[in-house]
Structure 1
Amino acid sequence: MKLVKFKKDTERWLSSYEKSLKVLFPKIAAEWHHTKNSVVGPEHISANSHKIVWWQCKQGHEWEAPVKQRKNGGRNCPICNSIFTTHPDIAAQWHPKLNKGALPYGITYGSDVQAWWICSCGYEWKEEIAKRTGRKDKGCPVCRNKILNQLSSLQSKYPEIAAEWHPTLNGDLTQNDVLPNSKKTVYWMCRNNTQHVWKTSIAYRVNRKTTCIYCAGARTYFENGFASRYPKLMDEWCYEQNNGINPDDPFLKPMKKVWWRCKKNHIWDMSVWYRIRGEGCPYCAKKRVLPEESFAALHSKLFSELHSKLNEGVDPWQLAPKSGKKVIWQCTKDEQHIWEMGINRRTHHGEGCPYCSKTRVLPEESFGNHYPHLAKQWHPTKNKRDSYGYIANSKMVVWWFCEECNHEWEDAIVKRTTIKKQKPCCGK
């Protein structure tokens, strides 16, 4: 019997050794720190282990990283692979004050961390480290734009729009100093009437191909007023609600909201500017919901299950019954049952409380809460939910992980809670 046991132990050791880091990845194993690790050596640990251990490169730099992460090509020596070592010219632009004490010596060149940079011209900006060290790095945005402006400035690309640049109200900024896609808001002056002055972004003018907003009727800055210019829209002017507002006022603000009434007697508020652009009744266009056709009116029972405190800013009288908007619900049978779900899933698909239907589990009723010792073996990456997402007698097959032997296996939750052996891999 002892011989049989010895043979099995030997086979198990050989199997473990063949899967070890030393056998499968000797180059990585060569950086194993032999004095700071509690495990004897890389021949005693699986290449797929999630255990965090110490490493030491040929230059003597020390760092910690999970074994599996190193096997997958990540977490090499942070100093040898730091931007200070690999990209000294970019590291020279590292902001000394805005990076919360972090230095470029220990951050790798492929990091996705957003860092602050400062150019010799004095400009400060924030950008991902990997983008700065990549082939497509564009450097300082200000210095880059100075070069681009000579070739792609607003004046060069869109001379007709640049011709309406206000000569005095934009300070020292000129048409040659900005790009066509700039979001900067500047002053413009109509080429046909110098009294027409307005303010909007450069990109808006270029992308929308807009002209003078006064000449286009955006601001009713004309002799006869809005009513005379747009008689068809005046058919929908709601005189009762617009008490005191004169539609013939030549200085009626274009973005001022006024009231309108369509042929179907739908009343809504909308700015004159949007009406000029062609916007009509939002109820006829199904962009708004009438109160009597809303979710609250047509589904009073479900309306009573909306959480009274956790839906701030949500008006159920303005939501359509088939709206996909997610809101917070509270079960009428058990106030502890609170969940988030789209309105259409309740009204159209007939879904109810997920806790009552056993598709979700309350934390206090979960496997993780009842069996914390077994929950420690829950695989950290291979399961869709954590151990608090299933009941203790669930038949769901999930992944498990043993920290002692690094073994991974699949098994049903209910089997783990009923068998005597807590660790079938180790025989314990």
Structure 2
Amino acid sequence: MTSADRSASGPHETRQVRGASLGVIAPEVARQWHPSRNGDLTADSVAAGSSRKVWWLGPCGHEWQAVVHTRRNGCGCPYCGNRKVGYGNDLVTQFPEVARDWHPTRNTGLQPEQTAPKSNRKVWWLGLCGHEWQAVVANRTARRSGCPYCANQKVGYGNDLATRHPELAAQWHPTRNADLMPHQIPYGARINAWWRCASGHEWRAMVFKRSAGSSCDRCKLIGVSEVEVRAFAELRHVLGGHVKPLRRDARLPMPRWQHLRVDMILGDVAVEYDGSHWHKDKAARDRDKTDHLQRAGYKVIRVREHPLALIGPYDTRAPRAARPFQVAAAVLQKMIDEDFLPAATARDAAATYIAGGRLVARDEADRAVNALRVREHGSRSLAALFPQIAEQWHPHLNGELSPKQVTARSGKEVWWLCAAGHAWRARVDQRVGKGTGCGFCSGRYVTGSTSLAALRPDLAAQWHPTLNGALLPEHVTPHTRRAVWWLCPMGHAAEDAVSNRTKGMVCEHCPNSRRRRGPSGM
């Protein structure tokens, strides 16, 4: 008998059980009593509420020590529950793809073979991306979380907005984003920020949507890049007397295609402007389009924005967020280099333009751009189909955009103003399709009289004073599902949804809690 086995019976063993025995109260637990490692002590000779630590042998074949009353309360095998390491339940065996990221030097001797998948220990990780970060082991295994920098959850390693998209950082509103700056947020952040374009228009948009290509609604063109329109105006001005035909947004009939849309046709040269965002995963499709154009007799010049790779013999590069002059000059230089301008006068005109280094067709480009601005939708507009909703269109906060310029099915998020004077943002299609109204009047949004602090001061008194950051009981309604931190009168800190507390749920750590706690919560 080992010392551990002797301690299970030991001098404290008594045949007089105080209270009902474990064998009587919990026979299913008693069946897991270890047959050999508890000396003469049996499940019938200990009380079900005993604090004695004894040996157990589960149906799984695992052996472990545990206090009797914890077993009676539902605590099972710690190895099967991944609360203790052994019997092949370690991180390397169970989650090899997570263990692969274990940092080789920063965990002070701790190894993944010694760690349970549900461990709450915070350790260091080193991803295949080369980024280092700290995270709780259980979070990585339960949520399948990875590198927070690659996921745009933390700022670092050059993933900030200013580094990844300097052209967007230049539109960051200088005064309306408090102290937040572009270098402090990931380029994929789900933060609603204020922007100001070169034309002076101001609007709010999520950072990740701007990185995905959204732009100023009042400057936005219909189905085309403004850079492309302005670059074509420059090319037509330079080549107008030398090359024919000159067409933008040309649609060419092709075998196997209904038609093939081409950005620009300059005589027998087809020009495609490939913006880095819209063409980053479309190299195969772009090559296929080039092949079709070449078989139709066109020489194809693709202006490929950085960091897109060149894919055709006549492709040329342009910087990210290229300007109209840069695109036009790149096309003309390629036409000179490849002898696509046989007439000396055309070559001279192109060379003169490149040497000049400035735009020459601003007025023509402005007219073309203005013709493509957002138009009114007539009978399909929100104003025509749902006048009662259009009446709540905010008169000031949507700039020059009006209910006549959006369709009833638009996914655009705009400002509204109800009869009670509440202003809020909502998508047009959600207001039409779901019939949603003012969130303040319906109690979905917080006001001074509808907040948790106003309606449930008893719960507001248990709001954790430090773990919720700047969020206060005055900022949420009693029915929000948002999870926040609480501090009960017994001093227990716990995270729970506000709506759960409103429904009567209490601290799970307190006696007589209305919550049921499973084995992993013991």
TM-score clears 0.5: no
Greater RCO, CA 8 A, separation 6+: 2
**Which of the five TM-score ranges fits, normalised by the shorter chain?**
0.3 to 0.5
TM-score, scaled to structure 1: 0.37
